[in-house]
Structure 1
Amino acid sequence: MTAAPPHFDLALVGGGGAGSLVLAALDRHDLRGLRIAVLDPVRKSGQDRTWAFWGRPGTDLDPMLSASWSRVDVVTAAGRQVLPLAPLRYAMLRSAPVYARAAEAAERLGATRFDAAVGGLADDGSGVTVRDTDGRALLRAGWVLDSRPRPPVRPGLTSWLQHFRGWWVESDRPLFDPDRAVLMDFRTPQPARGVSFGYVLPVSDRYALVEYTEFSPALLDDAGYDAGLRGYLALLGLDPAQLRVREVEDGVIPMTDAPFPRRPSPRVVRLGTAGGATRPSTGFTFSAMHRQAGEVAAALAAGRPPVPRPAYPGRHRWMDAVALRALDRGRVGGPEFFQRLFDRNPAERVLRFLDGATSPAEDLAVMRSSPLLPMTSAVAGDAAGRLRARLRRDPTPRPRAGSPAEGQPRS
């Protein structure tokens, strides 16, 4: 007879950023009574990515930060804005301390590790059987938190990407201002369809992450990213030949109004980008992942299902869809759009809006600061596009007014 698979209260499928933050949050709530499994074929460690985010100081993340800034620059062809962020701060977090914190948490929680790729999740409503890629049952869990990247359930009306390459550069002489980060520098050549910008996150006056980023429908090749970075360094007055490139970081993040279901079955909950944590208008993800982790742990500590709230209010997702459509159709330019946001709103409001933390009244103020006519056109186009998409998904003919529906009795 085949032995029954082991049973756990909670299974974390994926051990990257989202899974690591959940483990740390479970540890903070001292949930050592839970039977926890972690499934990932790769044991994450070391520096493989950098997260940048904003928030208030004084959180559990503070001991792990590489740097933080109370002022940031937004640069366009019209000039440089120095934005004070108080009471928020912009912060940089590298992956190595996050993975190390998760490993410590897993040990204290007594979590069981499965170095296996998950092939299927069979949810019968009372629990979930987790299977490997060969169909064998690895375990059964009361709840599964799945943070594996996956495509949306259907294409969105607009599907862009945030894609980038960054160089960690070091110099023998002071070149950077460690008290101020460059959030967005739009002096880079703009693509025919999309938005490009550079940014600088200085750790010291001689060491910084310099990055070239595009919001656009298509990726570049390696030469394109390197050319973008060299061109941006030239705009900063820096000679790449006089810098040592210590590390290279690449990334691709979806920017789309396509749906990412947070709960594909009764006892499976998706986290991270797969669970809607990526903000469609910017690609920022980390703050929402951190909120999701805290809400999951708080719910379990209170004896509730580990289901976090939507990462962003519905009205924000709609506003993002409209903004993406306006950018995609060329009705508004990227530098113009972001410059107006920061010109006509306190920086703290813009950052809280991008985090999904503003009130409806503040959202109206943000909307008023956008180019009115192009955005109105985008709103109309978004509504028409959604109607067409709904009709394509549901082609069943509807009964005409005054005629009985199929299967209904005639009088």
Structure 2
Amino acid sequence: MWQRGRMGSVPLEVDLALLGGGGAASLVLAALARHGVRDLRIAVVDPVHRRGQDRTWAFWDRPGNDLDELLSASWSRVEVVTAERQRVLDVAPLRYAMLRSSPIYDRAAEAERLLGVTRVVASADTVTDHGDGVLVGGTDGPALRAGWVLDSRPRPPERPGRTNWLQHFRGWWLAADRPLFDPTRAVLMDFRTPQPTRGVSFGYVLPVSSRYALVEYTEFSPHLLTGAAYDRALGGYCDLLGLDPARFTVGEVENGVIPMTDGPFVARPSPRVVRLGTAGGATRPSTGFTFAAMYRQADQVARALAAGGPPVPGPAYPPRHRWMDAVALRALDRDLVDGPAFFARLFDRNPASRVLRFLDGATTVAEDLAVMNSTRLVPMAAAAVGDAAGRLRDRVVPSRRPAWRVPPPVVGSDP
């Protein structure tokens, strides 16, 4: 049932409706408060009021912004490990940062109070754009009419891509009875994990202190594992790190599934409906990173509204990066390149800050060419030709696109 205290049959009139109250919507609310937007009627529509620790985001940015006081930890050095070599990378002037959901939700709640936001605790079953406004309805009929709708609810791409992988993972928050971790650096990718037949796996470690860390096992592959398989993989990775199970306890467990696909996410399905988060293209197809793009989207929306404009952010990533991601995914999926070697070459042949900015969509064309030049030419050229042929084939016979199972909603950490 739709709830706004007591509601009658007349829809609530608002200027802006946020569908979904997770990370993307929370960042928008905080940005609206930060940029002094005070004269809008705003509603959040979500059947669940998000609170507490339900996920962890890891991302890179420059220190000195409004996220500083919310971070659980940050590192200026990260490790990329293969069977042959351990690389310790200085990512300055960037930092690799970890942010848990609770302070983001708390900041959003404070912004809600400041902005006078109305909470509608229900699902949005219908969203109808009439050109001059959007009618959002529930099972009991019309609920609200909004000038603009920002929709951050998880959804599949508009159509299946030519490559459809998933980033899926499980993490354990480990509390040790003595120092076991190096809090001065994070393990970004450790490829010493057993590699799947089709896909790439790695572990990573995000230490908050010498006795407390998130240790996670991740796969880039087409299919999910069973719960027991994730636990075996995580236990094996802890053994690889030399972590004695007798010396630590497992507190929280985090799980997640993030789409890695060249299928298109339509960011503006109608004139007054704008999608944010993964549904709006914020997830980088080649890595699954999402938070930094969500943060940019929120800031752009708030700046636009503060200036009296429409709440429409720019593309999350440049089109050329989308193309490069499609080629990289194809090369991995068709086994044209070895996954660990592919990522290791990127860090070996480029400054770490360039690779991280590239993965965040912030590099120049010249830097992109340098990144491309660091990969193996023949297999990547083959992947590019195959991608071009696939695009042409899809235009001629679009019905040949394979069906793709919609992944479960994203839960847990965003590595």
TM superposition score normalised by structure 2: 0.94
Q: Deviations over 1:160-197 (max 9, x none)?
A: 00000000001111010101000000000000000000
Counterparts in 2 of 1:168-317, with a 5 A limit? 168-317=173-322
Choose from 364, 378, 387 the match for 1:373.
Answer: 378
CA distance in 2, matches of 1:229, 1:137: 47
The reply on whether 1:127 has 2:129 as its aligned counterpart is no
**Secondary structure at 2:57's aligned position in 1?**
strand
Per the TM alignment, residue 32 of structure 1 is displaced from its structure 2 partner at its CA by 1.5
**Secondary structure at 1:118's aligned position in 2?**
coil
The reply on whether 1:343 has 2:348 as its aligned counterpart is yes
The reply on whether 1:110 has 2:132 as its aligned counterpart is no
Q: Which amino acid aligns with 1:53?
A: F
CA distance in 1, matches of 2:365, 2:140: 48
Q: Which amino acid aligns with 1:18?
A: A
Per the TM alignment, residue 69 of structure 1 is displaced from its structure 2 partner at its CA by 0.3
CA distance in 2, matches of 1:135, 1:385: 44
Q: Which amino acid aligns with 1:259?
A: P
- Larger Rg, first or second structure (1 or 2): 1
CA distance in 2, matches of 1:135, 1:92: 41
Q: Which amino acid aligns with 2:267?
A: R
Contact conserved, 2:178 with 2:247, CA < 8 A, in 1? no
What are structure 2's unaligned runs of at least 5 residues? 1-7, 401-415
CA distance in 2, matches of 1:294, 1:117: 26
CA distance in 1, matches of 2:399, 2:352: 43
Q: Deviations over 1:280-320 (max 9, x none)?
A: 00000000000000000000001111000010000000000
Question: Could you say what the CA RMSD is over the residues aligned between the two structures, in angstroms?
Answer: 1.0
CA distance in 2, matches of 1:281, 1:328: 11
Choose from 326, 333, 336 the match for 2:331.
Answer: 326
**Secondary structure at 2:209's aligned position in 1?**
coil
CA distance in 2, matches of 1:225, 1:212: 7
Q: Which residue of 2 is the match for residue 21 of structure 1?
A: 27
Counterparts in 2 of 1:131-142, with a 5 A limit? 131-132=137-138, 134=139, 136-142=141-147
CA distance in 2, matches of 1:392, 1:87: 47
Per the TM alignment, residue 393 of structure 1 is displaced from its structure 2 partner at its CA by 2.6
Contact conserved, 1:13 with 1:39, CA < 8 A, in 2? yes
Counterparts in 2 of 1:37-48, with a 5 A limit? 37-48=43-54
Per the TM alignment, residue 30 of structure 1 is displaced from its structure 2 partner at its CA by 1.5
Q: Which amino acid aligns with 1:84?
A: D
**Secondary structure at 2:125's aligned position in 1?**
strand
What are structure 1's unaligned runs of at least 5 residues? 396-411
Contact conserved, 2:10 with 2:143, CA < 8 A, in 1? no
The reply on whether 1:81 has 2:87 as its aligned counterpart is yes
Q: Which residue of 1 is the match for residue 102 of structure 2?
A: 96
Per the TM alignment, residue 135 of structure 1 is displaced from its structure 2 partner at its CA by 5.6
Contact conserved, 1:120 with 1:135, CA < 8 A, in 2? no
Per the TM alignment, residue 394 of structure 1 is displaced from its structure 2 partner at its CA by 8.3
CA distance in 1, matches of 2:101, 2:397: 42
Q: Which amino acid aligns with 2:293?
A: A
CA distance in 1, matches of 2:227, 2:205: 20
Per the TM alignment, residue 4 of structure 1 is displaced from its structure 2 partner at its CA by 2.9
TM superposition score normalised by structure 1: 0.94
Identity %: 73
Contact conserved, 1:165 with 1:251, CA < 8 A, in 2? yes
CA distance in 1, matches of 2:346, 2:221: 20
Q: Deviations over 1:339-393 (max 9, x none)?
A: 0000000000000000000000000000000111100000000011111111113
The reply on whether 1:71 has 2:97 as its aligned counterpart is no
Choose from 144, 148, 166 the match for 1:143.
Answer: 148
CA distance in 1, matches of 2:251, 2:399: 53
**Secondary structure at 1:160's aligned position in 2?**
strand
Q: Which residue of 1 is the match for residue 14 of structure 2?
A: 8
**Secondary structure at 2:246's aligned position in 1?**
helix
Per the TM alignment, residue 153 of structure 1 is displaced from its structure 2 partner at its CA by 1.1
Q: Which amino acid aligns with 1:196?
A: S
CA distance in 1, matches of 2:343, 2:383: 16
Contact conserved, 1:272 with 1:285, CA < 8 A, in 2? yes
Q: Taking structure 1 as reference, are residues 394 and 234 closer, same or farther at Cα in structure 2, changes over 3 Å only?
A: closer
**Secondary structure at 1:228's aligned position in 2?**
helix
Q: Which residue of 1 is the match for residue 60 of structure 2?
A: 54
**Secondary structure at 1:208's aligned position in 2?**
strand
Per the TM alignment, residue 240 of structure 1 is displaced from its structure 2 partner at its CA by 2.4
CA distance in 1, matches of 2:183, 2:294: 27
CA distance in 2, matches of 1:99, 1:278: 20
CA distance in 1, matches of 2:95, 2:224: 31
Give the 4+ runs in structure 1 shifted more than 6 A: none
Per the TM alignment, residue 5 of structure 1 is displaced from its structure 2 partner at its CA by 1.2
CA distance in 2, matches of 1:218, 1:176: 31
CA distance in 2, matches of 1:274, 1:202: 30
**Secondary structure at 2:397's aligned position in 1?**
helix
Q: Taking structure 1 as reference, are residues 241 and 391 closer, same or farther at Cα in structure 2, changes over 3 Å only?
A: farther
Give the number of equivalent residue pairs: 393
Per the TM alignment, residue 242 of structure 1 is displaced from its structure 2 partner at its CA by 2.5
CA distance in 1, matches of 2:353, 2:140: 49
CA distance in 1, matches of 2:171, 2:380: 32
Q: Deviations over 1:243-293 (max 9, x none)?
A: 100100000000000000000000000000000000000000000000000
